[in-house]
Structures are given as C-alpha cells and as structure tokens.
C-alpha cells in the first residue's frame, strides 16, 4: 500500500500505526494471500498471512469494549437490555455502515477473483476488515487506542443517532431523570458548563461538566461529572448520567465531599 493511502486511513481512524506490517495484514483478504502463495515457486514457498485471525481477535475486543462501556454508561439497565443493545452495536448491519463511512473497501488487498466479484463492497469482507483493523490497533498500540477508536467511530455515534431518532434505548433523557431525582432528595439542581469545544466544524467534540453543589455552599461542588459528545446535548446527557449513577449508588447520609464521575478529568 502506498504511503499516502496508509496516511489517509490513519487520518480516518484517528490513529497512527508504529508498525506498518500489522495494518497491511489487517487489510489483506484471504483471496490475496492464497494468490500470492500460489505464485511462489519450489521449496521457497511460505505462508502469506491474511486478516482472518485478526478478525477473530478484533471481534472479541469489540465485544469487550462495548460491554464495558454499556455497563458503565447505563448502570440502571437490566442484563437483557444491555445484551440487546450490545447485539445491535456489534451487529453486521451496524458495522457495515461504519466500514463504509471509513471507506475501508478502498484500502483492501484482494485477489483477482474477489476483486472481480465486487469484494470491495461486500458486507462480510468489509466488516471482517473493520474488526481486523481494531485488532491491529490493539496489537500495535494497546487497548486504550483500540478503545478510543471503538468509542469514537462505532459506539458513540450510534448511541447518539438512536437518541436523536427516538431509538430503542430504554432511557435516554438522563437530564429529566436527574432533575426529578434531585427534587425528590431536596437538593439544588446542577449546573452544566461547556468546558471545551474542539475539532473542525464538521466534526466538533464538546466537553461538558455537570456540577452538583452542596446546599449551603454554592462555591463547592459535591460532584463533578465530565463527558464528551458530538453535540452539547449528548455531552450533557452523558454527564447527567454520571451524576445520576453517583446519586443512586451512594448512601443518602454520606458526606458531601468532592467526587468526580468516571468520565471526568482534573483541571
């Protein structure tokens, strides 16, 4: 693959590979690998690696990261609700849209037969390549960059779309639920603060904090949750979810010391 194509793919993924071989393997379909093996002569033949094993690993990484994020993001969901939501997020029907948005078909190494049969647009080929790329990122840089790509490219956009379109999420209006919970506890309503706005106009990221102040000291925060989203609304909802989880998990008699949500970061 040409250097500019690697760079274009890295830009789309938001990740720069340290080892070119691992991403080249992730993009190599079995048809291309077998074709290269057939062209080798005599005793010098050696196995050409394809992306099938990487696809197996990437599938597991995707399931783990998705499960963990849904577990953290929706603490009030039952096991069946979490399983249903995970099944949708990791489904071929959803992943093909991600692969198409990233234009993965453009980067694939295909054998001549697969190329002629339209392999660059086949759902199975593209989804397998996407999962192989997730494994390549994991092997090249570890779990955190793989997690970041999964959350940014696969999970967060779909959850936001479902919320906008009134999808099947059991509860998406965390701000209203938080307001009712605080009223029931006799606590003041929180403040939502936009702390950062980054990225190009067509792909902005908004960082919002939700701050719950103690009743007698408006200058001190009992809890600060921080979240990011492609809109201020989705970031506020995720921050409200963190505060709601905090309120439902703590003893009501607990002191009002400073706490931060799972998505927060120190200033």
103 belongs to the catalytic site: no
Provide the 3-class DSSP secondary structure of residue 233: helix
Q: What is the pLDDT of residue 49?
A: 85
The model carries a pTM of 0.63
Q: What is the pLDDT of residue 134?
A: 98
Measured distance CA(183)–CA(49) in Å, rounded: 60
For 12, 32, 54, 96, 110, the CA distances from 57, given in Å and listed in that order, are 21, 20, 5, 18, 21
Q: How many CB atoms lie within 10 A of CB 22?
A: 19
Strands 259-260 and 217-229: parallel
Catalytic residue among 50, 59, 140, 153: 59
Q: Among 97, 103, 86, 94, which Cα is nearest to 13's?
A: 103
238 belongs to the catalytic site: no
Catalytic residue among 114, 131, 153, 236: 131
CATH topology of domain 3-164: Ribonuclease iii, N-terminal Endonuclease Domain; Chain A (1.10.1520)
Which ranges in 74-122 belong to alpha helices (H)? 79-89, 92-101, 112-116
Which ranges in 142-196 belong to alpha helices (H)? 143-149, 156-164, 174-185
Q: What is the pLDDT of residue 217?
A: 56
Domain ranges of the chain: 3-164, 174-260
Packing angle, helices 92-101 and 123-141, rounded to 10: 70
Q: What is the pLDDT along the chain (267 residues), one digit of tens a residue?
A: 678 888 999 999 999 999 999 999 999 998 988 887 777 766 667 777 899 999 999 999 999 999 999 998 887 788 888 888 899 999 999 999 999 999 999 999 999 988 899 989 999 999 999 999 999 999 999 999 999 999 999 999 988 888 776 555 555 578 888 888 888 888 889 999 999 998 888 778 899 999 998 766 556 778 889 998 888 888 898 899 889 888 877 655 344 344 445 444 333
Q: What is the pLDDT of residue 41?
A: 65
What is the 8-class DSSP label of residue 108? -
CATH topology of domain 174-260: Double Stranded RNA Binding Domain (3.30.160)
């Amino acid at each position: 693959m040409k250097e500019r194509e690697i760079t274009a793919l890295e830009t789309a993924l938001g990740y720069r590979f340290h080892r070119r071989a691992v991403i080249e393997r992730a993009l190599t379909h079995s048809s291309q690998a077998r074709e290269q093996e057939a062209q080798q002569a005599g005793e010098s033949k050696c196995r050409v690696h394809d992306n099938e094993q990487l696809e197996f690993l990437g599938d597991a990484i995707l399931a783990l990261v998705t499960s963990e994020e849904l577990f953290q993001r929706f603490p009030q969901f039952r096991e069946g609700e979490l399983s249903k939501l995970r099944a949708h997020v990791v489904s071929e029907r959803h992943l093909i849209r991600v692969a198409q948005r990233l234009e993965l078909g453009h980067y694939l190494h295909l054998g001549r037969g697969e190329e002629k049969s339209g392999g660059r647009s086949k759902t199975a080929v593209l989804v397998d390549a996407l999962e192989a790329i997730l494994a390549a990122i994991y092997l090249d840089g570890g779990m955190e960059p793989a997690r970041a790509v999964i959350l940014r490219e696969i999970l967060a956009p779909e959850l936001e779309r479902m919320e906008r379109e009134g999808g099947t999420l059991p509860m998406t209006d965390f701000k209203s639920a938080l307001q009712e919970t605080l009223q029931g506890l006799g606590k003041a309503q929180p403040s939502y603060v936009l702390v950062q706005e980054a990225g190009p106009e067509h792909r902005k990221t908004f960082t919002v904090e939700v701050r719950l102040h103690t009743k007698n000291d408006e200058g001190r925060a009992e809890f600060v949750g921080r979240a990011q989203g492609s809109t201020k609304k989705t970031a506020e909802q995720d921050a409200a979810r963190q505060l709601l989880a905090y309120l439902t998990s703590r003893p009501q008699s607990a002191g009002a010391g400073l706490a931060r949500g799972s998505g927060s970061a120190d200033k």
